[in-house]
Each structure stands twice: as structure tokens, then as C-alpha cells.
Structure 1
Amino acid sequence: MGNAEHPLNGDVNWLLNRAWLGFGERKAAALEAVGVNIKEHFVMVALMTTPMAQLELSALVKIDKSVITATVDSLEAKGLVVRAPDPRDRRVRRPTLTPRGRQVCLRASAATEKVERELLGLLDPTQRDAFLEVLRFYAFDEFVDVPEFTRRLRK
């Protein structure tokens, strides 16, 4: 059955889901070789610029508070992040990349950028630019306030 005959060929959510799963699967495989997962990579990229309180980090990368804690715990256990007390409020912890964490983040970013280049390279430059422009519109404008990644229970 060609894509024109597929019963869901006009369902935007289904199409986005297929693309999201495909990109995610390829990126997850590339990151696995480096020793981190996708959420860990998001957090590490955010921490490359500056340490920040976990709540700020959660809001920036759009990962729920409970999930960000588990993600930072995992990065800390791998020796990629340390939690330092916030100088303004000793009760607050600021995750900070370790030197090894910075190296792993750079390797992980290179691996995911390679995957993205390969996948986006399947499009001609005009399609690629339009595709990215549309994704940025939805992510940063229309859906800027949608809920974070959470641990949703499946029923």
C-alpha cells in the first residue's frame, strides 16, 4: 500500500508521531553508544551554558520536576553531573556538569547532530528549511506552554 492509499496519510498527529518515533529511535541508538539517553542529553546541553537550579532546568528543557530529578540522579551516578549548593539559597541545588560530563555532552551532541544531518539530508534544502521553521513555530510559539515530558502511566 502506497502512502497515498494509507488510511492515516492525512492524520497530522499520526504522521508527527511516526516522525518523532523515527528520529527518537535513531538518536537514542546514537546516544546509547555514548552512554546517555535522550533526556540526559537534553539536560546536559542545557547545563553546558550555566549551572541552574533544578526547577529552572525543568522549565527550560520542559521535563517534569519528578523526571528531572531522576534524570539528574542518573547523570550524577554516571559522574557527569554534580549538585552544588546555590550560593543564594543553601537549600537549593544547582546541577553542574563535571569535566567528564562536558566531554560526554560534546560527544553526544556530535552523535545526534550526525543523525539529524543524515535524516534532514533526505530532504532538499528548501524542504529542510521549511520543515525546521514549522517545527520551531509550533515548539516556541503555538505550543510553548504545553505540559512537560512526564512519566505517564499507561492504562
Structure 2
Amino acid sequence: MGNAEHPLNGDVNWLLNRAWLGFGERKTAALEAVGVNIKEHFVMVALTTSPMAQLELSALVKIDKSVITATLDSLETKGLVVRVRDLHDRRVRRPTLTPRGREICLRASEATEKVERELLERLNPNQREVFLEVLRSYAFDEFVDTPEFSRNPRK
């Protein structure tokens, strides 16, 4: 059955889901070779800007508090992140990349950028820019308040 005959060829959600799963599968494989997963990579990239409170980090990367804790636990076990107590509030922890964490984050980013470049090569440069601009518009405007990655997605 060709694209035109597929019963869901006009369903935007189905098409986006297939693309999301495909991109995720390729990025997961690239990141596994570096020793991290997608959520860990998101967290490490966010931490390259500056250390921040765990709750701020959770909100920035849109990962639920319970999942961010498990993700940070994993990164800490791997020696990629340390959680430092806030100087002004002892209850607050500020995850910070270790030197090894910065190195792994850089390698992971290079690996995922290569995957993205390969996948986006199907588009000409103008199409790529429009595609990315539309995705940014949805992510940062239309769906900015969409639920976070969590263990129990909302139904």
C-alpha cells in the first residue's frame, strides 16, 4: 500500500507520532553509544547554561518532578552530575555537570546533531528552516503548557 492509499495519510497526529517515534529511535541508538538516554541528554544540555534548582530544571526541560529526580539519580551514579546545596537555602539542590558530564554532553550532542542532520537531509534548506520554525512555534507558543514527560501520562 502506497502513501496515498494509506488510511491515515492525512491524519497529522498519526504522521507526527510516526516521525517522533522514528527520530526518537535513531537518537536513542546514537545516545546509547555514548552511554546516556534522551532524557539524560535533555537535562545535561539544560545544565550547560548554568546550575539551577531541581524544580527550575524540571520546568525548563518539561520533565515531571518524579522523573527528573530519577534522571538526576542516574546521571549522578554515572558521575556526570553532582547535586550541590544552594548557599541561600539548604533545602534546595542545584544539579551541576561534572567535567566528565560536560565531555559526555558534548559527545552526545554531536551524535544527536549528526542523526538530525541525516534525517533532515530529505528536506531542502528552505524546507528545513520552515519545518524547524513551525516546530519551534508549536513547542514554544501553541503548546508551551503541554504536560511534561512523566511516568503517568495524563489520559
Q: TM-score range by the shorter chain?
A: over 0.9
Deviations 1:91-118, CA, capped at 9 Å, x for gaps? 1111000000000000000000000010
Query: What is the rounded CA distance, in whole Å, between the counterparts of 1:23 and 1:152 in structure 2?
Result: 22
Give secondary structure in 1 for the equivalent of 2:149. coil
TM-score normalised to structure 2 length: 0.97
* Paired positions, count: 155
Give the 4+ runs in structure 1 shifted more than 2 A.
none
- Identity %, equivalent residues: 85
**Residue 152 of structure 2 is aligned to residue 139 of structure 1:** no
Q: 2:149 — aligned with what?
A: 149
Aligned AA for 2:76? E
Unpaired segments ≥5 residues, structure 2: none
Deviation at 1:152, TM superposition (A): 2.3
RMSD across aligned positions (CA): 1.4
Give secondary structure in 1 for the equivalent of 2:151. coil
Unpaired segments ≥5 residues, structure 1: none
Deviations 1:71-102, CA, capped at 9 Å, x for gaps? 00000000000000011101111100000000
Please list, as runs of the form range in 1=range in 2, the aligned pairs for 1:1-155 lying within 5 A after superposition. 1-152=1-152
Deviation at 1:126, TM superposition (A): 1.7
Deviation at 1:130, TM superposition (A): 1.2
TM-score normalised to structure 1 length: 0.97
Query: What is the rounded CA distance, in whole Å, between the counterparts of 2:121 and 2:19 in structure 1?
Result: 15
